[in-house]
Amino acid sequence: MARFLEVRRILVPVDFSDACRVVLDYAVDIARDRGAEVVLLHVVGLPVAPFDPAYGVAADPRLLLDLQSGAEKGLADLAAKAGAGSNLSLKTKILTGAPSREIVREAREGGYDLVVIGTHGRTGFRHVFLGSVAENVVRLAPCPVVTVRLKGFEIEKL
């Protein structure tokens, strides 16, 4: 008999906030239980104006290279820690664009069975429910999404 939720591929978007390690731990536990592959994804968001306050620097062609280089190192570090001492299938991927859009596109085109995402990361502002990226992924992803609410983060009471 088939399991209710066949999970062969898990997408884990990370933003390198302190919280992403907790999110990754959830995904790794699920993957080990189900024998699934984990793909860590980081989306490099591009500045949309000559000066973008989210980056605090003027847009420069070298900025993208620096951001991608930093993402490669960050993903390699996370993958090494998550896969230490196990035969877990863990891959990394970097995309460029709007995080919500790229995460949903990757979930659709990559044939993932599950997305595991934190409810808040590095956005720098309080969002009423999940956080804008996680909320969009929950609404638009073609597969189930597990959201991990992080301890110590208080949302506004409704």
What is the number of domains present in the chain? 1
Range(s) of the domain holding residue 70? 12-148
Which phi and psi (to 5°) does residue 122 adopt? -105, 25
Rounded CA separation 82/124 (Å): 26
Tokens of 43: 């989306």
The answer to whether residue 21 sits within a structural domain is yes
Q: Are strands 9-13 and 37-44 parallel, antiparallel or unpaired?
A: parallel
Rounded CA separation 83/56 (Å): 34
Tokens of 38: 């984990």
The answer to whether residue 5 sits within a structural domain is no
Contact predicate 42/16, CB 8 Å = yes
The answer to whether residue 155 sits within a structural domain is no
* CATH code of the domain in which 88 resides: 3.40.50.620
The answer to whether residue 43 sits within a structural domain is yes
Q: Which of 20-24, 48-52, 66-70, 96-100 has the lowest mean pLDDT?
A: 48-52
Strand-by-strand arrangement of the 37-44 sheet: 90-96, 37-44, 9-13, 114-118, 145-148
Summarised one tens digit per residue, pLDDT across range 78-131 is 999 887 767 889 999 999 999 999 999 999 999 999 999 998 754 444 444 446
Summarised one tens digit per residue, pLDDT across range 32-53 is 999 999 999 999 987 655 555 5
Which amino acid, 122?
R
Contact predicate 143/110, CB 8 Å = no
